[in-house]
Amino acid sequence: MPIVRTSPFVDLHVHAREPGQTHKETIQTACAAAKAGGFGAVTLMPNTAPVIDTPELVRFVLARAAGQPVTVYPAAAVTEGQRGEALTDFDALKRAGAAALSDDGLPIRDEALLRTALVRAKTVKLPILLHCEPETEDCERALFHVKQTGCPAHICHVSLASTVSVLRTARRQGADFTAETCPHYMTVKASGTMNPPLGTETDVEAVLDALCDGVIRCIATDHAPHTEAEKAPPNPLNGVIGLETALAVSLEALYHSGRMPAEGVFRLLGAFPASVLRVPVPGGMIEVDTDAEWTAEPDRFLSLSGNTPFPGLVLRGKVVSYGD
Ligand code: DOR
Ligand code: ZN
Ligand code: ZN
């Protein structure tokens, strides 16, 4: 059996829904799902209810994370209530334990505010994770400010060929940025509603090329649990879960397709995301059976929600042991 040992992975982008939406997920169930997926650390997004925008709320997240089997790195909001008006106190949030800053779900429209945020994030040495919408135009705008200020940014969930080409140009121009994509943007077999939405086959190819040539160096899940009722037509909430399928989908798209060795996929899931957060790769080792076949069945996930973009799909690759 093709068993490969590696360090546990680091997910830069998880919505654990606590506080306030624990009918979808909790920090505990998100951590259990993360561990099952091979992750040893997760960044939790702050768009909870209330939004994580104070040191007290950062401490609340960390308290809920205590004793969980994976390390939790809380992201705090860039702006109060993610309203895009007033910046939060980055320094105080960092001292409380925030590991990143993000208004994920909502782009920061005020350009002066975005610039100040980039400068302050650099000063306090916290990565700033940007949700760009509309993706390509907003990403181009953000990277313009990154170049002008000389302050780095991380671009969330890249899904389009046009965005990849913006990233490529910015990289050539020396812009200091990192970027992630998600497993559901790496295959035409994904389905469901999420933001950004699924692209075309051309977009998928461009995203895979970007992962191969280093323009995008992180795979993050954007694990976004919602209940069945919340995902029902005619107005389904945006988001799909991903912690328990990320490894298999990434292996299928990049390793089984012959694009890179399994170790290359592990770096995209582990070492590179860790470097964005400036944290060590998680300790211990996992063993991955790269060929193990299994079926993505919504009812069998440890996540509290079942809104997978791969229902019924036969996947290849899973974690078979979590050792030291
Ligand atoms: O699909 C999405 N779901 N996109 C976002 O930006 C937010 C996320 C969520 O919180 O459900
Ligand atoms: Zn987002
Ligand atoms: Zn998100």
Atom of ligand 1 nearest to the CA of 47: 10
Q: Of 209, 222, 289, 324, which residue is the catalytic one?
A: 222
The verdict on pTM exceeding 0.95 is yes
Q: How crowded is residue 278: how many other Cβ atoms within 10 Å of its Cβ?
A: 11
227: Cβ contacts below 8 Å, ≥ 6 apart: 23, 24, 305
Tens-digit pLDDT profile for residues 44-73 = 999 999 999 999 999 999 999 999 999 999
Average pLDDT over residues 71-82: 99
Asked whether residue 95 carries a pLDDT value surpassing 90, the answer given is: yes
Atom of ligand 1 nearest to the CA of 106: 6
In whole angstroms, give the CA distance from residue 201 to residue 214: 20
pLDDT at position 1 is: 59
pLDDT at position 323 is: 81
Q: From the centroid of its chain, how far is CA 233?
A: 26
Average pLDDT over residues 34-43: 98
Task: Report which protein residue has its CA nearest ligand 1's atom 3.
Answer: 239
Average pLDDT over residues 33-49: 98
Average pLDDT over residues 210-238: 98
How high is the mean pLDDT of the chain?
98
Tens-digit pLDDT profile for residues 274-299 = 999 999 999 999 999 999 999 999 99
Percent of the chain's residues with pLDDT above 70: 99
Asked whether residue 270 carries a pLDDT value surpassing 90, the answer given is: yes
Is residue 97 classed as helix, strand or coil in its secondary structure?
Answer: coil
Based on the residue annotation, tell me whether 222 is a catalytic residue of this protein. yes
pLDDT at position 66 is: 98
Tens-digit pLDDT profile for residues 131-170 = 999 999 999 999 999 999 999 999 999 999 999 999 999 9
**E strands of the chain, at which residues?**
3-6, 9-14, 39-44, 71-76, 100-102, 128-130, 153-155, 177-181, 218-219, 285-295, 314-323
